[in-house]
Structure 1
Amino acid sequence: MKTYIFSSLFLMLTLFGNAKLQAQQVDNSKNNYVVLTTKVPQLQPIILTAEALKAEEGEAFGDFQVIICGKDIGQITDPEIINTFIQKAEKAGVQIIACGFSLNKFKVDKTKVPTSMDIVENGILYNFQLQKKGYKSLSL
């Protein structure tokens, strides 16, 4: 009887243990990056970094996303400030994302966010989700 119980337990642990490992496998054929920033002017050096990595890595360069969070998020609604960064980001293959939690907290009108920018519900959570997918992360 003990042998039957131990055998069943071993079988269950083996099956469920392998299922968990398979669900967490990540494709590492490309280098993907995510940067979380609270300052819109930091987009300049971030985009320059993305351009340098893209040139250095070639085909190994994957996705590069920048998440803007924090009290200065209202600056993304000012075309004089954000439009130049958006143009440079598009040329470099960088996606700029706004944190919806910050937009709500600091009462920024979401309709004034440039249409080329995506809005995620929670920028910090989104950053962690990308890290789980294998993205290299930096917070500024």
Structure 2
Amino acid sequence: MKHFILFISTLLLSFGVVQAQDFDPQKNNYLLLTKNINQLKPVLLTAEELAKEDGNSYGEFYVVICGKTVKDIPDNNSFKKLLKKAKEQHVKVFVCGISLDKFQVDPSELPDQLIRTENGILFGFQFSKKGFISLTI
């Protein structure tokens, strides 16, 4: 009975770990932290080139936006167009919740494509520890 419980526990924990990962650690996964939303256009060009270079080794590409620049996101049509392009390229764009709070940006005013993370810097470190290639600009 003891072995059965241990087996079931191990199975459940293993399943939970696999479910928590939405990226392939065997691929080249990228994370970019930026404090300027105007950098999204060149970042998308970079992601496109890396996807070509890496071929089947290309994994995930995450962009995390932090800092005062979050004030420039609401009602920004050119940024919304870039977010659409990011989605087409399978680039996930995150925004730092601490920055939103500090600069009093209402999350309901943000485009739906943005994913809120509570702490963008911590988020970046966590994914770096998981093997993502990271850069801050």
Q: TM-score, normalised by structure 2?
A: 0.80
Tell me the alpha carbon deviations over residues 77-99 of structure 1, each in whole angstroms, 9 at most, x when there is no partner. 12313211111111211111000
Partner of residue 125 from structure 2, selected from 119, 125, 128: 128
Superposition misfits of 4+ residues, deviation over 2 angstroms: none
User: Root-mean-square deviation (CA), in Å?
Assistant: 1.1
Equivalence map 1:10-89=2 (5 Å): 28-89=25-86
Note if 1:95 corresponds to 2:89: no
Structure 2 gaps, min length 5: 1-23
CA drift at 1:134:
0.3
CA drift at 1:34:
0.3
CA drift at 1:28:
4.2
Structure 1 gaps, min length 5: 1-26
In structure 1, what is the equivalent of residue 113 of structure 2? 116
Q: Does the Cα contact within 8 Å between 1:33 and 1:135 map onto a contact in 2?
A: yes
CA drift at 1:75:
1.5
- Farther-moved stretch of structure 1 (85-94 vs 74-83): 74-83
Q: Does the Cα contact within 8 Å between 1:28 and 1:134 map onto a contact in 2?
A: yes
Tell me the alpha carbon deviations over residues 59-118 of structure 1, each in whole angstroms, 9 at most, x when there is no partner. 100000000000111122123132111111112111110000000000001111111111
Tell me the alpha carbon deviations over residues 15-54 of structure 1, each in whole angstroms, 9 at most, x when there is no partner. xxxxxxxxxxxx6420000000000110011010000000
- Tell me, in whole angstroms, the C-alpha distance in 2 between the residues paired with 1:110 and 1:78: 12
**Bigger radius of gyration:** 1
Q: TM-score, normalised by structure 1?
A: 0.78
- Tell me, in whole angstroms, the C-alpha distance in 2 between the residues paired with 1:45 and 1:75: 17
Tell me the alpha carbon deviations over residues 99-140 of structure 1, each in whole angstroms, 9 at most, x when there is no partner. 000000000011111111110000000000000100000000
